[in-house]
Amino acid sequence: MVVMAYLVGSISSAILLCKLLSLPDPRSAGSNNPGATNVLRISNKFVAASVLIFDILKGTLPVWAGYFLGIEPVYLGVIALAACLGHMYPIFFNFEGGKAVATAFGVLLPIGLDLAGLLILTWLIVAKTTRYSSLAAIVTVSMAPLYTWLLKPIYVIPVLMLSGLIIFRHKENIIRLIQGSESKISFTKK
């Protein structure tokens, strides 16, 4: 299951859709990150939404499969980490991947819709208030263990592992946020 989760995570919808639609490679355009936010920068909302949905599903499907196979919560966490590591370091794309925010959301989705709602609400509030997608992601994954503890404490340890991984992957964003050089997102049509 861990290997399968990593391989599924390694399928980069951002890179594949951009190639299919003759768009710039997201690894060398915009923020150079093959994720939904950067695809929005270099294309349009439809393509970005497609990337977002696929990235969520590639996290959700392996974890749900493991859950239905009766795998213990800590091992579900390892499966979740493998899916996110696949997105971050995809074997099919020279290990040049994204930040795995959508994939992390996808692996948390099977815990429950209440958790998903809290995560979405947190991201939206921070993103709308600050206009920093990276800060919204960092705050949201930082809150995820607390939300999980309140809703389904059995999953706190796997969620803590996942949160640490996502925050680590955002280290350059954190530096840019501190320096005031992080790019902002726009919620309105230019």
Tens digit of pLDDT for each residue in 70-108? Answer: 999 889 999 999 999 999 999 998 898 888 999 999 999
Contact 38, 137 (CB under 8 A): no
Residue 60 scores a pLDDT above 80: yes
Residue 145 scores a pLDDT above 50: yes
At 5, give phi and psi (nearest 5°): -60, -40
The residue-averaged pLDDT of 50-60 equals 95
- For residue 183, give every residue at least 6 positions away whose Cβ sits within 8 Å of its Cβ, in sequence order, or none: 31
Task: Write down the pLDDT at residue 190.
Answer: 47
Measured distance CA(33)–CA(190) in Å, rounded:
22
Task: Write down the pLDDT at residue 64.
Answer: 95
**0.85 surpassed by pTM:** yes
Residue 34 scores a pLDDT above 70: yes
Contact 11, 90 (CB under 8 A): yes
pLDDT-derived band at 188 (thresholds 50, 70, 90) equals low
Measured distance CA(8)–CA(103) in Å, rounded:
11
The residue-averaged pLDDT of 123-145 equals 95
Residue 184 scores a pLDDT above 90: no
| Secondary structure of the chain in HEC code, one letter for each residue | CHHHHHHHHCCCHHHHHHHHCCCCCCCCCCCCCCCHHHHHHHCCHHHHHHHHHHHHHHHHHHHHHHHHCCCCHHHHHHHHHHHHHHHHCCHHHCCCCCCCHHHHHHHHHHHCHHHHHHHHHHHHHHHHHHCCHHHHHHHHHHHHHHHHHHHCHHHHHHHHHHHHHHHHHCHHHHHHHHHCCCCCCCCCCC
Percent of residues, the chain, with pLDDT higher than 70: 98
Contact 35, 84 (CB under 8 A): no
For residue 37, the Cα-to-chain-centroid distance in whole angstroms is 10
The residue-averaged pLDDT of 164-172 equals 93
Contact 87, 97 (CB under 8 A): yes
Measured distance CA(152)–CA(154) in Å, rounded:
6
Residue 19 scores a pLDDT above 90: yes
